[in-house]
A and B are shown apart, each in its own frame.
Chain A
Amino acid sequence: GAVVSQHPSRVICKSGTSVKIECRSLDFQATTMFWYRQFPKQSLMLMATSNEGSKATYEQGVEKDKFLINHASLTLSTLTVTSAHPEDSSFYICSARDIQAPDRGYTFGSGTRLTVV
């Protein structure tokens, strides 16, 4: 149980274009999902918390207009990197928690490796 699916796993895009990443909870509903960014050999940094039916909560220093988050249903959250630049190249990963099984902690998607050229 508690599977989180993230797509795409890898994407290469041109500078200035936008990229959408999807995060789905497959076997549970998630009113809240979390988006992280991980640079090489560094830990996961929380970017924002996605809330179903309401605005996302962004961490300090994360540009809301650059990283658009939509959580339109109880099983889907999307992160759109707008006008991507090479410095946005990173590993993006989402997570969610099955509130019916809180002892299992947070489940992570398999991540998206974004390369902006």
Chain B
Amino acid sequence: EDKVVQSPLSLVVHEGDTVTLNCSYEVTNFRSLLWYKQEKKAPTFLFMLTSSGIEKKSGRLSSILDKKELFSILNITATQTGDSAIYLCAVEALRLTGGGNKLTFGTGTQLKVEL
């Protein structure tokens, strides 16, 4: 069974701090790893990673994947209160039966950024 584990489960920081969120996985037929930000409703897409060692960056957020050690990190620098959300890591894998791909989500990291 595919597994995705995120840590920490929750985190409280002050504005301006840098945070690192972790995601480790065990899946069969790995295709990609995705990061999402979930505030009140729908998760919004942040990054999709398929290759090891190549950092993806968007503003203050960045992420990297290590396919040998089976983990990814999401970094947020100079955090702001608007970064407060649940950050979800999901791994896309080829489905063994039934065809196509499926996403397995981690439990998420609840980030709270205080003034």
Q: Which of A13-21, A80-88, A106-114 forms part of the interface with chain B?
A: A106-114
Closest Cβ of chain A to B84, distance in Å, is 15
Q: Interface size for chain B: under 10, 10 to 19, 20 to 34, or 35 or more residues?
A: 20 to 34
**With A44-B88, A106-B103: A49-B98 Cβ-Cβ less than 8 Å:** yes
- Given the complex, which residues of B lie within 8 Å of A104, measured CB to CB? 45, 48
- Number of A-B pairs, beta carbon distance below 8 Å: 53
Closest Cβ of chain A to B70, distance in Å, is 18
B42 at the interface (CB under 8 A from A): yes
Structural contact, B105 and A43, CB atoms closer than 8 A: yes
- Given the complex, which residues of B lie within 8 Å of A49, measured CB to CB? 95, 98, 100, 102
**With A43-B105, A49-B102: A105-B45 Cβ-Cβ less than 8 Å:** yes
A30 to B102 CA separation, bound complex (whole angstroms): 15
63-114 of chain A: CB within 8 A of chain B: 93, 95, 103-111
A9 to B42 CA separation, bound complex (whole angstroms): 11
Structural contact, A43 and B106, CB atoms closer than 8 A: yes
Closest Cβ of chain A to B57, distance in Å, is 14
The 12 listed contacts between A and B (C-beta, < 8 Å) are: A43-B105, A43-B108, A44-B105, A49-B98, A49-B100, A57-B98, A57-B100, A93-B42, A104-B45, A105-B45, A105-B48, A110-B41
Residue numbers of A with Cβ under 8 A of B are: 4, 6, 9, 32, 34, 42-46, 49, 51, 57, 93, 95, 103-111
